[in-house]
Amino acid sequence: MTMMTPPPVEQQEDEEMLVPHQELTEGPQPMEVLSAETVSTSENQQVEDPPTFKYRWTIENFSRSNTKKLYSDVFHVGGYKWRVLIFPKGNNVDHLSLYLDVADSATLPYGWSRFAQFSLAVVNQIHGKYTIRKDTQHQFNGRESDWGFTSFMSLSELYDPSRGYLVNDTCVIEAEVTVRKVVDYWSYDSKKETGYVGLKNQGATCYMNSLLQTLYHIPYFRKAVYHMPTTENDMPSGSIPLALQSLFYKLQYSDNSVATKELTKSFGWDTYDSFMQHDVQELNRVLCEKLEDKMKGTVVEGTIQHLFEGHHMNYIECINVDYKSTRKESFYDLQLDVKGCRDVYASFDKYVEVERLEGDNKYQAENHGLQDAKKGVLFIDFPPVLQLQLKRFEYDFMRDTMVKINDRYEFPLQLDLDKDNGKYLSPDADRRVRNLYTLHSVLVHSGGVHGGHYYAFIRPTLSHLWFKFDDEKVTKEDAKKALEEQYGGEEELPQTNPGLNNTPFKFTKYSNAYMLVYIRESDKEKIMCDVDEKDIAEHLRIRLKKEQEEKEHKKKEKAEAHLYTIIKVARNEDLMEQIGKEIFFDLVDHDKVRAFRIQKQLPFNHFKEEVFKEFGIPVQFQRFWLWAKRQNHTYRPNRPLTPQEETQSVGQLREVSNKTHNAELKLFLEVEIGPDLHFLPPPPKTKEEILLFFKLYDPEKEDLKFVGRLFVKSLGKPTEILSKLIEMAEFPPNEEIDLYEEIKFEPNVMCEHIDKRISFKSSQLEDGDIICYQKSLTSANRNQFRYPDVPSFLEYVRNRQVVFFRALEKPKEEDFSLELSKLFTYDDVVERVARQLGVDDPSKIRLSSHNCYSQQPKPQPIKYRGVDHLSDMLVHYNQTSDILYYEILDIPLPELQGLKTLKVAFHHATKEEVAIHNIRLPKNSTVADVINDLKTKVELSRPDAEVRLLEVFYHKIYKIFPPGEKIENINDQYWTLRAEEIPEEEKSLGLHDRLIHVYHFTRDSNQNQMQVQNFGEPFFLVIKEGETLTEIKIRIQKKLQVPDDEFSKWKFAFISLGRPEYLQDSDIVSNRFQRRDIYGAWEQYLGLEHSDTAPKKAYTTNQNRHTFEKPVKIYN
């Protein structure tokens, strides 16, 4: 899937790079690629001759570059400066990362913006048709000044020279940039223009949107979905039927584009699934299977089969004896070949093509032995709705990758499957059914195999009117756009000088049909039935109308927001309810108190009437305090409103209290209640009196709660109110208590002991301050409690963090959790983890942080004491995680960090075995040290055998390491390190002897004849001057121990830069190899062509490989 994400802001070179878009960075980042067609041309858009420029960048010594990223030279397009940004080793993925960058973004004025459509390409220097090119478009601005593809192409493909992307260690990048004027995309009203609405894209869900629109516009299907039983107690996010009903209802009755989040939640998808681009056909099958299952036992049971299910008969018929085997199978869709077929009829011809089973491939017929036979498929019946999946993607064995087939492929508006006297039908088919179909919808894929954009052309009423459903946008289109323009193939650009006899320029069309939906003419009236409100369950209508009304209400509120003020009133009851449960610092969470929406013009005294109606507190007993945000970021009641202020309007009062000009007014309602629980008038407030709030702490229960508020004399002392505080806490009368002032909690907690003998004023206490108190503890009983006093408890609350630990080798499985403090040091954390795991030595614990975007462990583990505190381990850019990964090492981490571990594959000289060894040595060691260490671990053919270390990549030898080379810079992440004994013949090379590379290769007869595919183990061979191929073959056969009958089928070729020249037995091989050096000699080698009989296995390196495509799963 193509990922479109901007590259990162500058970070230190040794840190991972951030891709600040949505929720994804390292690993797979399935962001949607919007094709160039996404933004349609509207009347007010000027598109005359937009400036375009093609830039070519040649990068030499590419593989040896140690730079994390490279910028090209600056080039100009449309009066703007641009450059290409490349990460040669990937932007935290094992793919090449490639972006277009606004070169002068740092110096542009605030608010700059520019729109460009562009393509980026890595040129194949051997076969131009294999050049990898990806297109996209972007609105560049100050926040997103670069855009492109984090996973452009795999590094293994790029760095394999036989693939042609890296020749002579040179890489060629092309960028084609078209600068366009910004389109007013958002002003377009799909409902007004077409009568239909689109679906919102969640990131990479255009493939789903195109399918959902197609299914929605099959009215019989929509009706069946509406009739699936659901109840008012169901939640859409947990019920696929209800979520689909809700979605279809909104598509039918809404004026704006519809969100699909409830539906994907009902699938059991997390946000990561929504950012993965999947396959339309796969989703179609899985969704239909789910609905079929959910329809069982309901009034709509069997709908899916009725609409989409057809049957074909597989048969094998003997030619010489009377024997026939048949098997009936059902299908919901048909996969049709595109390659080698000009149209749908040609694909059906191929589908029913008869295969002859003869010679070595005879059929074992029951009671008749091996027989010549005919094998094929014929159709018993076709469904009313015929879904044809066009096989636009296929596996290219030569390139070991999927490729997209962009060949021209025609499909008719009317499809007659009874043609040629029913040649597609089996003898059992009911010939009374007329299989004449009309085209309903065309699903289009625009882009390449690694990703792209999906949209659909649909005829909702099967009239001549076509509509394009492209995510949120729906447009009217003519039939040519939906049909001929989606055939694919090549298109000629109009000639600029028609008078000249120049060859027209052709380009491949990357937008083409991928799925076709046909409806049978005889079933048309039934399928295209009317669907109205009576088909929708009443509870669903009520629920969705209520949702719509709420939406309209919110919209109205938003439009009228400037006329209203929100007043949030906090009371004693709120403080009692929240402190110690939801909050511990300050007094209240204002988002959880009663809020009033009041017209700004309303006098405040009238608002007090509203408060009376809500709380039953008469107006004369209400006194309101304004809240103030202090410099230390706390929020406290500051002063009561004056009688004069209460005569003002709500709007004026909000402006007095609120310097930030938001629409809210926050108040504290002070109410006095007498001993008989009756309301009392508020006591007079003088400057000498201050209002204090009190919290009580219990160290035994580790509990903090609000116990009340008091007016105290500013010049009075705490000793004067101790009896009142003891009474509020319900302590015995003579209990000793300690007082603390809660001062602030950001960025850290400040809570200080209050001297009870000095005045409140001397302690700098004022209106709105908070005093926390508790029973006094002796030094003896303090040790009984984890947090014996208020400051230690608040410190704990402020920094407590539950961390979920997972074993690194099982990164998706939660193992255990620990409650820790963010202030814990590195040593504190590993000590707690070691204790949990029963590991004696905490230094053998190695931790890795969590990447919040990819939901994966970060690739670089945390170094020993490499961070100060737990909080540093949990932070990932601007997000905080609560997950850490652990490993248990066999040696302490500080010791391991001083070592370099290399994975070396040792090839025994005489035995057919490869032993993998992890060699762990100090980083300043040399290759000679690696070889000496290896010798102690392997069995040599003789004690004095010499060993060498090679760099092997994709079955080719790239380098023999000099013994003195330092191992610190050797990378075994992408290359395989191979150790082997040096053969005696190589130690005594004659003056005219040559040491050449010998590689195995194969070619697929169906593919490009020039493309070779290497496999097996490469090796060196000494060839003598004047030696013929016949003589060399004898030595190779002996070395490889190949049987005569098999070896006789082998071919031998001199291969240079991937091109084979086949050799005759009499050819002098040394004449072809003129280069004497073996560095870079992988460009020329002796190729042994034969079939690869070894079992296929994954290419083994020790790197972490992420999965880039997940199969579609609907979990509920």
Indicate which residues carry an active-site annotation: 206, 453
Burial per residue of 531-556, b for 16 or more beta-carbon CB atoms within 10 angstroms, e otherwise: beeebbbeebeebbeeeeeeeeeeee
Sign (positive or negative) of CA dihedral 198, 201, 202, 206: positive
Q: Where are the alpha helices (DSSP H) in 616-745?
A: 643-646, 650-657, 722-729
**Pair 443, 184: CB distance under 8 Å:** no
What is the spatial distance between Cα 344 and Cα 388, in angstroms, rounded to a whole number?
Answer: 9
SS3 408: coil
Q: Where are the alpha helices (DSSP H) in 598-705?
A: 604-615, 643-646, 650-657
What is the spatial distance between Cα 84 and Cα 70, in angstroms, rounded to a whole number?
Answer: 8
**Pair 271, 23: CB distance under 8 Å:** yes
What is the spatial distance between Cα 900 and Cα 386, in angstroms, rounded to a whole number?
Answer: 60
CA angle 1097, 1101, 1103 (to 5 degrees): 125
631 to 34, 393, 635, 746, 991: CA distances (angstroms): 47, 63, 9, 11, 86
Residues 6+ apart with CB under 8 A from 192: none
**Pair 850, 883: CB distance under 8 Å:** yes
**Pair 915, 867: CB distance under 8 Å:** no
Token look-up 């403090």 returns: 821
Distance of CA 347 to the CA centre of its chain: 36
Residues 6+ apart with CB under 8 A from 1114: 240, 267, 268, 269, 286, 287, 290
Burial per residue of 816-840, b for 16 or more beta-carbon CB atoms within 10 angstroms, e otherwise: eebebbbbbebeebbbbbbeebebe
**Pair 516, 411: CB distance under 8 Å:** yes
SS3 225: helix
Distance in angstroms between the alpha carbons of the first and the last residue of the chain? 25
CB atoms within 10 A of CB 270: 12
- As to burial, measured by CB atoms within 10 angstroms (0-12 exposed, 13-18 middle, 19+ buried), residue 34 is buried
Token look-up 């230094």 returns: 843
What is the spatial distance between Cα 1060 and Cα 1083, in angstroms, rounded to a whole number?
Answer: 12
HEC readout, 908-970: CCCCCCEEEEEEEEECCCEHHHHHHHHHCCCCCCCCCCCEEEEEEECCEEEEECCCCCEHHHC
What is the spatial distance between Cα 136 and Cα 269, in angstroms, rounded to a whole number?
Answer: 27
451: phi > 0 → left, psi -120 to 50 → alpha, else beta; which? left
| Gyration radius (Cα) of the chain, Å | 38
Q: What is the maximal distance between C-alpha atoms in the chain? A: 120
What is the spatial distance between Cα 784 and Cα 786, in angstroms, rounded to a whole number?
Answer: 7
**Pair 1088, 998: CB distance under 8 Å:** yes
DSSP letter string, 762-777: TTT--TT-EEEEEE--
